[in-house]
Amino acid sequence: MGRVRRVHVLDGVYYVRLQPHLGNVLVWDAADAAQLSHYVAMAVEHYNVRIHAFSWRRTRADLLIQVADVPLGYSIQLISGPFAQYVRMRHGHSGPLFRRYRAALVASDIQLLQIVRYIHQLPTRAEIPKTPDEHPYHSHHDYVGTRQFSPWLMTAYVRKLLAKRMDRTGESYAAWLAEPVSEELVRLFEQTEGRLPTNVGHEAPTPSESSSARNLALSAEDLKSIIAVVARALKVTSGQIFSLSRDRNVTRARALIAWHALRAGKGTMTDIGRCLKRDSSVLNRGIERHRAQRPDLFMKSLRELACH
């Protein structure tokens, strides 16, 4: 049987599994996990993807990734290629590290939530940790706030869906996470390539849950606090930030706003550019240029900028 043809859907959300060849290990320790996360962050920046959940383990990396206009394979290559080189350099590995990646297109928000839960439960299904809290390298900690937020992880949409569910059912995040994923769904998530069936799931989606994750539009109001801090620190006005001005201090302010918005997980560069009325490529170049000119400024946190 031939390989399943990859399906590219604009703004599509994919459940991706990266596995090494038999006998190889992906993540030995925190340094390996940090390096893998670094290459994922590169894919977020270069290809405008969104990461909704992840789990790094010794023998597998799982991602819930949303693409833009560039097919999924480009992001996977940017992650897996450099990481394989890193593993060869650090651990002395030889030969191909990864098998062909597996990816399934998610069909609904209900499926998206089920896969987020499944990804966060994976370490407890296959390894020693008894609870998700005990495994250090997955996005569960970002959702519950037990560690510093990963700037490339997009939690806003999943949090919105969970908030609606919890308002409706009254259950807590812990209770939702503890609910086991059925073996039928596990088989489907593990074996499907291409598209997941649209009838997967034990709940009927409500009209408010049927929108795409990219439809959670970013607005100037969402960036209001960042804009206010940066404007005061650089002595510009919000009017100048949204104007056509190309003054160096104004363009630096826009770059700094975009930098902190990305680090806070407010959205992708495309979202931020749309909000600031600037092309995302212009903002990217601005960040690179102004970080080179004023690295001290970009190393400051928003709190430090507020005291600037």
Whole-number pLDDT of residue 203: 47
Reading the block at residue 160, the tokens are 């919105």
pLDDT, tens digit (0-9, with 9 covering 90-100), for 225-234: 899 999 999 9
pLDDT, tens digit (0-9, with 9 covering 90-100), for 1-48: 456 666 677 788 999 999 998 888 899 999 999 999 999 999 998 888
Q: How many whole angstroms separate alpha carbon 226 and alpha carbon 7?
A: 38
Contacts of residue 213, defined as CB under 8 A and 6 or more positions apart, other chains included, come to 11, 13, 50, 52, 66, 109, 112, 154, 157
Among the residue ranges 159-173, 204-218, 260-274, the one predicted with the least confidence is: 204-218
Whole-number pLDDT of residue 148: 59
For 13-213, CATH gives: 3.30.70.1290
Q: Higher model confidence: residue 277 or residue 218?
A: 277
Closest CA to 280 of 67, 47, 50: 47
CA angle 130, 40, 197 (to 5 degrees): 70
Question: Across all residues in the chain, what is the average pLDDT?
Answer: 82
Q: Higher model confidence: residue 175 or residue 74?
A: 74
| Domain at 220-306, CATH homologous superfamily | DnaA protein, C-terminal DNA-binding domain (1.10.1750.10)
Q: Higher model confidence: residue 51 or residue 274?
A: 51
Whole-number pLDDT of residue 82: 93
- CATH 1.10.1750.10 domain extents, the chain: 220-306
pLDDT at 299 over 70: yes
pTM (two decimals): 0.65
Whole-number pLDDT of residue 199: 57
Positive or negative torsion for Cα 26, 31, 35, 41: positive
| N-term to C-term CA, the chain | 63
- CATH 3.30.70.1290 domain extents, the chain: 13-213
Residues linked to residue 105 through DSSP beta bridges, in sequence order: 14, 195
Are 285 and 291 within 8 A, CB to CB? Answer: no
Reading the block at residue 167, the tokens are 């308002």
Whole-number pLDDT of residue 107: 83
Distances (CA, A) of 230 to 67, 250, 263: 30, 10, 14
At 157, the pLDDT band (50, 70, 90 cuts) reads confident
